[in-house]
A and B are shown apart, each in its own frame.
Chain A
């Protein structure tokens, strides 16, 4: 079974600084996708960024970028120029289509990010 591990329960960053959230995963599949979701206090799940395993190039979305190391099964999220609105719980997630599961997601336990003014 696939597993996702986030080893940092909490992180903090100063406003305008850069922070990196860590995620590792385990899978025997070769074709899969990785995601970072943000869950603010409203509890709404918001997709931040997505990475296809077959792509060597790291995904970027404005201030958010990932460092995808396929051999090491590592998928970290870098937030640049942190803003107060970035404060949230961040979840790393994995999905594949094995067994016709249509990319049901496996989530890590989350990292609570605090942004200090």
Chain B
């Protein structure tokens, strides 16, 4: 059973461009969490999704950020018009039904130049 997959592992964007981060949960997992890790910080919760539903987006910035988890395909975290402050590592985690067992992907390191 493959683990949680994230791609790309590294992403470089210029200010004002769009960033799309993809997360493929473990097989059979229908719950996805996105976390952001700023330099020298712990991970901070952004959004929790189930298939086709956003359950909790209390950690998402109100503007420029959006997330989806379609019926088919990976979960996508989309950042529009990126700014330097968006530079961070973005991790997704998946769980089968309860978040007590969250399996993390390797993260995507976003660099905004």
Contacts and interface: CB of A to CB of B under 8 A. Distances in A.
Interface centre among A33, A93, A102, A109 (most CB of B within 10 A): A102
B12 interface: no
A43 B106 contact: yes
Interface string A92-113: 0101010111111111111000
Interface residues of A, number: 25
B66 interface: no
Contacts of B102: 47, 103, 105
Contacts of B48: 101-102, 104
Given A43-B106, A50-B100, A100 B42 contact: no
A62 interface: no
A105 B31 contact: no
Contact of B42 (A46, A50, A102, A108): A108
A46 B59 CA distance: 22
B106 A42 contact: yes
B43 A45 contact: yes
A33 to B, nearest CB: 6
A97 B95 CA distance: 14
A103 B43 contact: no
B52 to A, nearest CB: 16
B56 A45 contact: no
Interface of B: 31, 33, 35, 40-45, 48, 55-56, 59, 89, 91, 93, 95, 98-100, 102, 104, 106-107, 109
10 contacts: A43-B89, A43-B106, A91-B43, A95-B100, A102-B31, A103-B98, A103-B100, A104-B56, A105-B102, A110-B41
